[in-house]
Amino acid sequence: LRSVTNPPHPLPSHCQVLWDAILREGRNINATMILMVQILAFSLALLSTLFLIVATWTDCWMVNSDDSLEVSQKCRGLWWECVTNNVDGIRTCDQYDSILAEHPFKIVLTRALMITSDILTGFGLIVLILGLECVKILKDEPQVKLRICYVAGFILGMGGVLGMVGSVWYAVDVYVERVTLLFHNIFLGIHYEFGWSCWLGMVGSTGCFLASVLLTCCICLFRDPRSNRHELSFHQNTRTHTGKMYAMDSRV
């Protein structure tokens, strides 16, 4: 009767202890990997967001190339144009007439895309903070925090795509303008190429997109170990209940 009340083919006690230790160690490894991925994604998103903000509000999106005949360095941004004298180092900046005035289409489009990208990546960064495992908010809701990370990754990805479109659009327009002048044998004494602000926008956009990939794809490889508690407890309760029913039937 004692053998009937136990489930068929029970594990020895030492094997059960070893199996529980393996499961516990695996859960700890998964939790550590999730935390490392989150911290890496947060650091990358923070640095990339700063790059995007700096790129949006600096003035070196377009700079004269080294083969120009100018004695000064000219930088054009989305909001103003600056000239630095190479002799005495004096720098002067002229702001554009108005934000609503008529500007080239590349400036208007890049402004809209970069500002939207800054807003999205900043908001995604704030949302990501709430989803970090090291933050005590919603500490007892691991699945909610995991969904928050997914949402933050999606927002960062959208911001990164918009920033990349704006930066690449501006760079391609500058390149096409230069090639067009050379093709028509028009030499204005100065040639422009995209400057460090444009490069910074591309780097920041790429970083936000990589952070999005980490949050939406890589975390899926390491599920939260605490999410399996309900499944394990349900399985154990079902097995115990079945064993009791089997024991009662055998007595009859």
Q: In this structure, are residues 158 and 123 in contact, taking their beta carbons and an 8 Å threshold? A: no
Mean pLDDT for all residues in the chain = 75
Does residue 159 fall inside a structural domain?
yes
Question: Which amino acid is residue 181, in one-letter code?
Answer: L
In a domain, residue 202? The reply is yes
pTM of the entire predicted model: 0.73
Residues 6+ away with beta carbon under 8 Å from 246: 4, 5
> For 66-80, 172-186, 195-209, 218-232, which range has the lowest pLDDT when averaged over its residues?
218-232
Q: What is the CATH number of the domain that holds 120?
A: 1.20.140.150
pLDDT in tens, 112-160: 999 999 999 999 999 999 888 878 777 777 788 888 889 999 999 999 9
Q: From CA 154, how far away is CA 124, in angstroms rounded?
A: 8
CA 152/CA 144 separation, integer angstroms: 12
How many domains are there within the chain?
1
Domain extent, residue 144, equals: 39-58+104-188+196-222
Integer Cα distance of 90 and 71 in angstroms: 12
Domain-embedded: residue 231: no
Assigned domain for 234 exists: no
Mean pLDDT along residues 35-64: 91
Contact 81, 91 (CB under 8 A): no
Question: Is 156 among the domain residues?
Answer: yes
Mean pLDDT of the 202-219 span? 90
Cα distances (Å, whole numbers) of residue 70 to 2, 44, 84, 158: 98, 39, 11, 40
